[in-house]
Amino acid sequence: MSRVLNARGQDLRTVSRELKRFIEEESAVTIKNASHLHGLCAGLKGGEITIEGDTGDYLGVLNDGSTIKVRGNAGKYVADNLTRGVVLVEGDADYGAAQYCYGGTVFIRGNAGDFTATMNKGATIVIGQDVGDEVATYMLGGDLIIVGNAGLNLGNYLIRGNIYIGGQWASLGHNCKQEGLTPEDITKLEGYFAQYEIAIEPKQFKKITPQSAKPFYK
Amino acid sequence: MAIVGAFCVTLHNDRCINSRMPGKCATCVEVCPYEVYAIDEGEVVVQNFNACVGCRICVEFCPYNAIRINPAEPEHLSRYLWTFAQVEEIHYKSLTGQYLLRGLGTMGPLPHFDNIVVVPSQLASPPPKDKYREECKMEVVIGEKRAKNPIRLRLPIIFPAMSFGALSREAKLALAICAARTGIATNTGEGGVVEEEPYYSKGFLDKEMTRRKWSPGGYLIVQWSTGRWGVSADYVNAGDGVEIKIGQGAKPGMGGHLLGAKVTEEIAKVRGIPVGSDALSPCRYYDALTFEDVKKQVEFLRDVTNYEKPIWMKLGPSRPYEDVRMAALAGVDAISIDGMAGGTGASPDVVTQGVGIPTIACIPPAVRALNDLGLHRKVKLFALGGIRGGLDAFKALALGADGVGFGTAAEIAMGCRACMACHKGGCPYGITSQDPKLRARLDPEAAAERLTNFIHATAEEIKMLAMLSGHDDIKELSEEDLRALDINTAAITGLKLVGYERRLPLWEQHES
């Protein structure tokens, strides 16, 4: 069953209540006119939700199992603190996408802003085009795949996890080093690219890993 | 300034090799340029301690660690600015290139509650209430307007945020058990939730909450913080309220520090970091660039918790009026403001000692901010930071707070001796250690018993002070129940000055 929820003129509490009711009915839900709502789809544990058009900030924060598709651009902090589930954005994502994630998958087909994937602790985050500055700051786990270019200070104080980048970076942050791709890395990237229909050759990617897991106090 | 006789020189003969084997060693005699020591019939003696200048070259060179040099007077009188501790701090930095880190909180003189006295009732005020035969209302309700399930504290007391990691599992459980036994709230801190905390704090032994052990049952606040350690939708819903941490008293402007020595396998798993790696929380939210973002966080946390749980905000001591005003405007149900005497598991010493606003200077502006918005007593205000017992708590309540938090005092109630080495992970009482051998020294139920006794005694103190001031409800307490003992305190707090019996003119001008 598929349900449509028109959010125009509605507040978060009303839309959220309806959304949860539809999900309990095991319906796939399409939400329209929701760009004024911040924190939409917060903390959901299941369901398939499609957002038609652009979204507000904090879409899918604390998502714990639902699949959220955005047919437009996402506001700031999309997929914040994701623990399980999937967030797919057809357009661009504003500042701070996929921060503080523990697990799950985030795919942004377009560009993503500054501080994307900051403090990622275990999610797989794929960015189809370019990212801004300070991306993957203090990343503690998981994979970040950037098909395009990155700005300043990429991977600053990277502690654990991998950054794969197809383009160039303006500068690398502290505690990063570049490594060659292993056959396992290539297989992994091929899988992601096939899944998200990205026509690019994995072998041209560079891999960035942490120099040390303990870069702070001696 | 006394130079002569400024130091006590102690030669421990049981350690000094020369006292056992005369002639064997006279290093102190040789290295001291001031002839403090001499050889007398083959033995080293202190011949002129008045000549000692405190250079401690003898201590440095003594091969048997037999000499102690101590200031003869309090150092803040005789050696300030250059106390031994200050000298050693400079040596440490010059040897290591590192600044000092330590636990606990601000040490040394600060304007605090000690310069305020309680005014009892006599003829000119309503008569006192009888503490032994009458009741005093102590309940504090949080979130009654916005949350489906408000928190109803039986006493105006909370245990503020202290993380799993900074504290041991046993200490966290002791706090939860005590909360259940006294009807108050404990707080996860920012290190995730210990599995038993949610049901222990309610008084149950099992997750299904079928086996009650402790009554009347308390509350658990889960903290949403900048490191977001162990945070998920389940975590946010694991407690009875959510606290958004903006800052803390011991290190406002900085995030939490959990040094690698305390990041064990268990802590690492909860926090999602490698074992032994420092967990340094960001100083600000990466996912809240503006105040509007903070308001959105309040809104979605209400949504994730199904509008059932109160939302709290914790502030460090910065600009109390403006910060509390903004927190209230963000739509929270309660605000904790942590003065600079607040505690910490680890912090740069320079920040703990020198950054922030004393607790007594935070409360009056915070109350004014809420009053100006018409929200005083509606948005509940909790005062934290160096509150030691019922007397401090009463003064904070009379200044306008709705409740107080006991952090460091709670640790001390469990057995802590305030050695300031919490950051090292070697707490010999098992309170701030993650070492299984040391943790085994802290029995959660025994520690909870001590905590419960402390909370009961403290609550009785608050009740006694409220009733001798003529009140049978802590919400009636006001500044009129207090006087400042000195001009400085009167100027900081706006309280009437003893003897003068009025507020200082600068306050009257300010209010007019």
Domain CATH code at residue B78: 3.30.70.20
CB contact under 8 A, B303 and A96: no
Model pTM score: 0.94
Mean pLDDT, residues B110-119 taken together: 96
Instruction: Tell me which chain B residues have a C-beta less than 8 angstroms from the C-beta of A74.
Output: none
Structural domain range at position B49:
7-98
DSSP A74: B
C-alpha dihedral sign at B41, B45, B51, B56: positive
How many independent structural domains does chain B possess?
A: 2
Q: Is B267 in the same domain as B189?
A: yes
Chain A: residue nearest B305 by CA? A43
CB contact under 8 A, A96 and B274: no
How far apart, in whole angstroms, are the C-alpha atoms of residue B327 and residue A84?
Answer: 31
Task: Calculate the average pLDDT of chain A.
Answer: 96
The letter for the amino acid at B222 is V
pLDDT band at B355 (very low <50, low <70, confident <90, very high): very high
Beta strand B482-484 with B116-118: parallel, antiparallel or unpaired? antiparallel
- Whether B345 is covered by a domain: the verdict is yes
Residue A161 to chain B, least CA–CA distance (Å): 11
pLDDT at B272 over 90: no
Residue-wise pLDDT tens digits, B8-61: 999 999 999 998 888 889 999 999 999 999 999 888 999 998 999 999 999 999
CB contact under 8 A, A217 and B98: yes
Q: Is B76 in the same domain as B131?
A: no
Q: Which among B181, B218, B192, B216 has a CA at the least distance from the CA of B271?
A: B192
- Whether B505 is covered by a domain: the verdict is no
Q: Is B316 in the same domain as B390?
A: yes
CATH of the domain at B363: 3.20.20.70
B264 CB burial (10 A radius; 0-12, 13-18, 19+):
middle
What's the pLDDT at B1? 44
Residue B331 to chain A, least CA–CA distance (Å): 15
Q: Is B76 in the same domain as B214?
A: no
Q: Is B55 in the same domain as B159?
A: no
What's the pLDDT at A1? 78
Q: Is B92 in the same domain as B118?
A: no
What's the pLDDT at A48? 97
Q: Which of the pair, B73 or B95, is modelled with greater confidence? A: B95
- Residue A99 is encoded by which pair of tokens? 């921060």
pLDDT at B2 over 70: no
What's the pLDDT at B261? 87
Contact between B166 and B190 (Cβ < 8 Å): no
Residue-wise pLDDT tens digits, A106-144: 999 999 999 999 999 999 999 999 999 999 999 999 999
Q: Is B64 in the same domain as B198?
A: no
pLDDT band at B434 (very low <50, low <70, confident <90, very high): very high
Q: Is B246 in the same domain as B361?
A: yes
Among A39, A115, A217, select the one facing B286 at the smallest CB separation. A115
Domains belonging to chain A, first-starting first, are 92-210 (2.160.20.60)
- Whether B510 is covered by a domain: the verdict is no
How far apart, in whole angstroms, are the C-alpha atoms of residue B456 and residue B184?
Answer: 11
Q: B493 — phi, psi (to 5°)?
A: -100, -20
Name the one residue in this structure whose structure tokens are 């749980």: B309
Q: Is B265 in the same domain as B233?
A: yes
